[in-house]
Structure 1
Amino acid sequence: MDLTQIRYFLALSRTLNFTRAAEACNVTQPAFTRAIQRLEGELGGPLILRERSLTQLSELGRSMLPLLQSTHDAAEAALSRAAEHRRGADDAPLRLGLAPGLDGIALTSVLREVASRVQGLDVRLRRDAGPALVEALLAGDLDVALLPETGALPDRLNRWPLWSERIAVLLREDHPLAAAPAVPAAALDGASLVAPGMPGEAGPDWTPAAVAFARLQEEHGIRAVGRHAASCHPEAALLVAAGLGVGLAPEGAVLPPGIVARPLAAPEIAYPVILSAAAGRPMNRAVSAFVKLVRAARWNAGRMMGVA
């Protein structure tokens, strides 16, 4: 049984006339008749009863009609879906995640190069906390993400280290420590501190700044007299600008006017920024080009210095 035989039978069931059904199927009547006879042989009985000028479906034909119609419709749907896929073959979506605190300016040259190589590029950029980006990668909602590696990633994710991001201290421009090239950790002891996702607060993620502060507490005995939490680095900088304390943030965090960032020293705390994608998941043209370009680039503190 093939789809041509089914199509011929459906046409015959509508017209109940071999001549008109053959014409509707654009085939000669002898070829049409032979196809119907082969289908009857495969199904084990006559599908059409012909009595002089009266032609009608047999009992077998009536019982087979809905089944063969469903088979025909399913085949047509499959062909339509395949055609839609072929028409969309030129589409090249790139669903990109970027963690807060990472300066995305360096990605403009990468995206410009991808756009020059890949026709139909369709970029979707999402800013979100590292754990949320990891979940989106695992769920297939993102193709690739740049994020800080402050803890172990699931085995299902590939990781490609790009650069090392230092933790900086956020200060108002008029703060006494703003004149120094770096801020020693000891200078934070007894200060009022602002950081995104401070440990102990309900709900926030453990951001790099929060992880850094935990290290200062546990390993170096630094204690803050007041702690203020914000959901992201720009909001933490706003609290610093309001005079609520000094802040911690990645060195590449975008800051509002009046706020400066000075590297944390003694100790310097840094963490790797990585490119991540789900292991084993096929990449389209856009994702593949983006991954290759990012991995081939030479990075220095979040700035692309060239291609390796």
Structure 2
Amino acid sequence: MIRTSLRQLEYFEALSETLHFGRAATLCGVTQPALSTQVAELEDVLGCRLFNRARRAVSLTEEGRSLLPQARTILDAARAFESTARQQPTMQGRFRLGLIPTIAPYLLPPLLPALRQAFPDFQLELREALTPHLTGALLAGEIDAFIAALPIDERQVTALPLFEESFFLAVPAADPDFVAPPVPPDSPALERLMLLEEGHCLREQALSVCTQVKPVAMKRFGATSLFTLMQMVANGMGVTLIPEMAVATAQSIGGLKVVPFAAPAPQRNLALFARRNGIRFQECEMLAEATRRIWLSPPDVA
């Protein structure tokens, strides 16, 4: 007789992701005692401890880390079984979406309320991380999809194109070098370019723009967020590349000016990445279409 239930495996998965009994219980829609009891019963059935429980921290044991991929495989199969029975994707239930840091703060404000209105039973859980981390999380089954910039070289991942956007240059407002934009690709001002730290795709995109000059400021400065870079620019420490979706934020910062590049302006292409042949691929397609529509639709005019 099989003594392990799908509910127990769901609680195991949730606790492994949150490493917090309260948050895991909220995620599963149950009380904390109920979740704790079911996890303990699962450990009794398996004859091993899945979690180390300390007063202020929870962590996976070696056995827990070993069994987690099998638990996710079983849950994926059960979700696929239910999805097949429904025939059509429903845009319902828990969906784990990742975003890179140079997209999340600017795309989420219009995206989340629009998705909530269109799909009230679609429960988005968000993770912000760099592209390599999100790719690994997608392949490990820890997230269902993520939004990042093309290209990504991973055969098991499918890209669903979203939209393209131009890059601009953020400069100190009083900088005399930018009296007459647009900025040519060989502008001496690009030698003062400041970059995000290693691992950010925007760093590589910025360097690809500056093929005709050698940035020197990048050796002295680095930041983990685009907003930090914009603050540095506003205080005269250099210039930086920003995507079109960040222009409104940049223009709200005192001491900072946004100028366009000479045509053809550099661009980046954004996509929603999903597992090839994944069980929620149709929902990923629906989410990509909704994201395109929401972002590209003209703003409401009062």
Name the TM tier (shorter chain).
Answer: 0.5 to 0.7
Q: How far 1:168 moved relative to its partner?
A: 1.7
Residue 271 of structure 2 is aligned to residue 274 of structure 1: yes
Residue 170 of structure 2 corresponds to 170
- Which of 245, 255, 261 is the matching residue for 2:238? 245
Within a 5 Å distance, the mapping from 1:285-300 to structure 2 comes to 289-295=286-292, 297=293
For 2:6 and 2:274, the matched residues in 1 are separated by 32
TM-score (norm 2): 0.59
What's the CA shift string for 1:237-282, capped at 9, x where partnerless?
Answer: 1221232211123232343433222222266221211121111111
Structure 2 counterparts to residues 29-108 of structure 1, below 5 A = 71=1, 74=2, 77-78=4-5, 92-102=93-103, 105=106, 107-108=108-109
Mapped contact 1:184–1:267 kept (Cα < 8 A): no
SS in 1 for 2:240: strand
Q: How much does 1:164 deviate?
A: 1.6
**Partner SS state of residue 184, structure 1:** coil
1:205 pairs with 2:199 = yes
The structure 2 residue matched to 1:259, chosen from 250, 256, 259, is 256
Kindly provide the amino acid, as one letter, of the partner of residue 140 in structure 2. Answer: A
Post-superposition offset of 1:92: 1.0
AA paired with 1:224? Answer: P
CA–CA separation in structure 2 for the residues paired with 1:119 and 1:267: 41
- Aligned 8 A contact 2:194 2:229 in 1: yes
Higher strand share goes to which structure?
1
> Does residue 121 of structure 1 match 2:118?
no
Give per-residue Cα distances to partners, 1:128-181, cap 9 Å, x unaligned.
2222222222222222222111x4431211112222222221111112245444
Give the % identical residues: 22
Cα 1:156–1:291 change in 2 (3 A) is: same
**1:275 is aligned with what amino acid?**
L
Given that 2:99 and 2:148 are in contact with CA atoms closer than 8 Å, whether structure 1 keeps it comes out as yes
Give the 3-state SS of the residue equivalent to 1:131 in structure 2: helix
RMSD after superposition: 3.7
Q: Which residue of 1 aligns with 2:226?
A: 233
Identify the residue that residue 191 of structure 1 maps to in structure 2: 191
Unaligned 5+ runs, structure 1: 1-70, 198-203
* Pair member with larger Rg: 1
| CA distance 1:99–1:231, change in 2 (3 Å) | same
Return 5+ residue gaps in structure 2 as ranges: 12-28, 31-81, 83-89
Q: CA 1:93–1:207 in 2, change beyond 3 Å: closer, same or farther?
A: same
Aligned 8 A contact 1:169 1:246 in 2? yes
> Residue 283 in 1 paired to residue 280 in 2?
yes
Question: Deviation digits for residues 3-52 of structure 1, max 9, x if unmatched?
Answer: xxxxxxxxxxxxxxxxxxxxxxxxxxxxxxxxxxxxxxxxxxxxxxxxxx
Say whether the 8 Å CA contact 1:195–1:249 is kept in structure 2: no
CA contact (8 A) 1:237 1:259 kept: yes
TM-score, L = length of structure 1 = 0.58
Q: Deviations over 1:186-238 (max 9, x none)?
A: 223573221113xxxxxx11522433324523xx2x12343222222112212
Tell me which amino acid in the other structure corresponds to 1:133: L
**SS of residue paired to 1:133:** helix
Match of 2:182 in 1: 182
Q: Distance in 2 between matches of 1:79 and 1:164?
A: 41
